[in-house]
Amino acid sequence: MRLHIILALFVITALIDYKMITKEEVLSHWQIQENLLQGYRLIFLTSQTIIISVASLLVAYHEADLLTFIAFSVLLTLALTLLNFWRKIASARALDVSYLQAILFHHEQFENKESLMREFKTWQKLQRNEKEEFIKNHSIEPSATRVTMEKRIPQLFLLLWIILLGVISYKVFII
């Protein structure tokens, strides 16, 4: 319901100003958001790869003692914190990209917009469920790449961390 009120406010505001947003403006903003999303993905993959590599070397080449386990635990905590941060940031940015895609797909319905940046900032303040409802109502489905990057790869890193935790726990506490 709140989403419909916000969309109605967009239209009313647009009717007052009569300034039209061009398709080029929408494309430009979409490209910025897409580039930010790709940058976040790159940072996530790089940081997780480096941390898991260091942890793997620690497990493979250091003596299995309590100090090694503590060092591993610090790396694990860092990686899980980054994983959680990545999930929140990337999914929010992906919704922003989808919003701009919806505007592109339905540009004719939105051509009397006052200010794309003002509308976009209003969009970013919506709750996640309101954003998802809007995207669903505008038939914007996440791509296979987005699903892979936002769900499968983080799950893979989590699985690798669980395996490493099992290996180091076995070495420290059982052997």
Domain total in the chain = 1
- The angle subtended at Cα 143 by Cα 42 and Cα 33, nearest 5°, is 50
How wide is the angle at C-alpha 98 spanned by C-alphas 154 and 158, nearest 5°?
Answer: 5
| Cα distance from N-terminal residue to C-terminal residue, the chain | 59
Q: Look at residue 20 in the predicted model and tell me its pLDDT.
A: 64
| pLDDT of the residue at 15 | 41
Q: Which domain holds residue 18?
A: 2-174
- Provide the residue-wise pLDDT of the chain in tens; the chain has 175 residues: 565 555 544 554 554 444 566 777 778 888 888 899 889 989 999 999 999 999 999 988 888 888 888 999 999 999 999 999 988 888 888 888 878 777 776 665 555 555 666 677 777 788 878 877 877 776 667 777 777 787 888 889 999 999 999 998 888 888 7
For tokens 């009120």, the residue is 5
Write the secondary structure of 14-55 as one string of H (helix), E (strand) and C (coil).
Answer: HHHHCCCCCHHHHHHHHHHHHHHHHHHHHHHHHHHHHHHHHH
Q: For 88, how many CA atoms within 13 A lie in the half-sphere containing its CB?
A: 6
Global model pTM greater than 0.85: no
Look at residue 17 in the predicted model and tell me its pLDDT. Answer: 47
